[in-house]
Amino acid sequence: MVSEVGYGAWGIGGKQWLGGDDRESLAALRKAIALGLNFIDTALAYGDGHSEQLVGQVVRESGQTVYVATKVPPKNQLWPARPGIGIQEVFPYRYIIECTEQSLRNLGLDHIDLQQLHVWNPEWIQQEDWRRAFEDLKRSGKVRFVGVSLNDHQPDSALELIETGLIDTVQVIYNIFDQSPEQRLFPLCQQRNIGVLARVPFDEGALTGQITRASQFHPADFRSFYFRGDRKRQVEERVAALKRDLAGVEGELPEIALRFCLSHPAVSTVIPGMRKEKHVEANVAASERGPLPESVLAILKKHAWEKNFYS
Ligand SMILES: NC(=O)c1ccc[n+]([C@@H]2O[C@H](COP(=O)([O-])OP(=O)(O)OC[C@H]3O[C@@H](n4cnc5c(N)ncnc54)[C@H](OP(=O)(O)O)[C@@H]3O)[C@@H](O)[C@H]2O)c1
C-alpha cells in the first residue's frame, strides 16, 4: 500500500540537477514522510549513490514504514537502452546482484522494497540474466518486488515483459503531454495487477508553468540539455495554451498535473521530483483533492504533445 504521491529522488542526487543542497533535500524528505508520503523512488545512478544515502538516512531515522524503490544502472551507462546491444553489456547477472548490494549499503537498509532495471530493451525478454538475478534477489530477501523503468516515451516496450508474469511494476513517463501509456500499457497493467509508477509528472518542470524563454540553467544541469535550443519557447507556448483552456478550473497547474496522473485507475503512485519543502506540501496536498472531473480530463486530452526532448 503505497501513497498516491511518492517522492522522486533524482534531483536530490545533486549531480545532474544543480541548485539544491543536502540540507534542503533532507528537510524536503522529512517533510514528505511527516505528511504521510510512504514511497520513495531513487536509483544507484542518482549522484552516484548520493540520493540513496540521503533517502536511507531519512527513512532510518523516521522509524516509520517507508517503501524504497531503487534501480540498477545500465552497465554500459547508456540511457535509454539501444536496440541491438545484448544484455551481457547492460545487465549481466553478477552485475545486477553487485549493484543491489551496493544500493543496500548506500541506503543502510536490510532490504529494498522494489528493485528496478533502469532501462529496458524488449530484445532481452528470453535472456536468463535478469530473470535469474531477480529470482535470486527475491529468494534471498534482499529485494521484495521487482520491476522495470521503461525507456523514455516507449510504454509499449513492456507489453511482452508483463505477459511473462516475472515483474511486479513498471515505471513510465505519464503526464499531460505524454498520455500514450493509456492506450495499451495501462489496460494490461490493470488486467495483470501490475503496479504503475508514473514518472516525470511535470515533464521535467515544463508542466509546473515555470519554464519560460527566459529560464536559465547551469550548463552542467540536465535541464540545459532537455530545454535546449528553441524548446523553452515551445514549452512556454504550449503551457500558455493549456492555461487558457483551464481558465475557470480550480487549482494551480502543478496540482492539476499531478491529479491528471492520479485520475487514471492504473496509476499506483506518481513520483514528482521535489527538493523544496513548499513543493512537497503542495504535491502531497494534491492527492487529497481526488481525481479530476471528466470535463477537465477532456480538456487535458487535447493537450497531449508528441515529442522526445531526451534525445
Ligand atoms: N529513467 C528513469 O527511470 C527516470 C527518469 C526520470 C525521472 N525518473 C524518476 O521520476 C521522478 C520525477 O521526475 P523528475 O524529478 O525528473 O521531474 P518532474 O517530477 O517532472 O519535475 C521536477 C521539477 O518540478 C519542480 N516542482 C515539484 N513540485 C512543484 C510544485 N508543486 N510547484 C512548482 N514546481 C514544482 C521541482 O522543483 P524542486 O526540485 O526545486 O522542488 C523540479 O524542478 C525522478 O525524481 C525520478 O525518481 C526516473
- Could you report the per-residue pLDDT of 62-90, keeping only the tens digit for each? 999 999 999 999 999 999 999 999 999 99
C-alpha–C-alpha distance, residues 300 and 173, integer Å: 16
Cα separation, 155 vs 120, whole angstroms: 10
What type of residue sits at position 276? K
Q: How far is the CA of 8 from the centre of ligand 1 (A)?
A: 6
- Find out whether the beta carbon of 149 lies less than 6 Å from any atom of ligand 1: yes
**pTM of the predicted structure, to 2 decimals:** 0.98
Residues 6+ apart with CB under 8 A from 257: 175, 176, 201, 202, 207, 208
- Predicted local confidence at residue 20, as pLDDT: 87
Provide the grid cell at 53: 544515502
Atom 48 of ligand 1, nearest CA residue:
199
Residue owning the nearest CA to atom 10 of ligand 1? 199
Mutational test site, ligand 1, from 22, 170, 200, max ligand atoms within 8 Å of CB: 200
- Is 200 near ligand 1, meaning CB less than 6 Å away? yes
Q: What is the pLDDT of residues 144-177, one digit of tens each?
A: 999 999 999 999 999 999 999 999 999 999 999 9
Distance 205 CA to ligand 1 centre (A): 7
The DSSP symbol for 177 reads: S
Q: How far are the Cα atoms of 131, 203, 205, 226 from residue 308, in angstroms, in the given order? A: 30, 11, 15, 9
Judge if the beta carbon of residue 208 lies within 6 A of ligand 1.
yes
Residue 5's SS3 state is: strand
**Which portions of the chain are predicted below pLDDT 70?**
none
The span from the first CA to the last CA of the chain, in angstroms, equals 35
- Of 87, 90, 92, 117, the C-alpha closest to 103 is 117
DSSP string for residues in 189-246: HHHHT-EEEEE-TTGGGGGGT---TT----TTSHHHHHTTTTHHHHHHHHHHHHHHHT
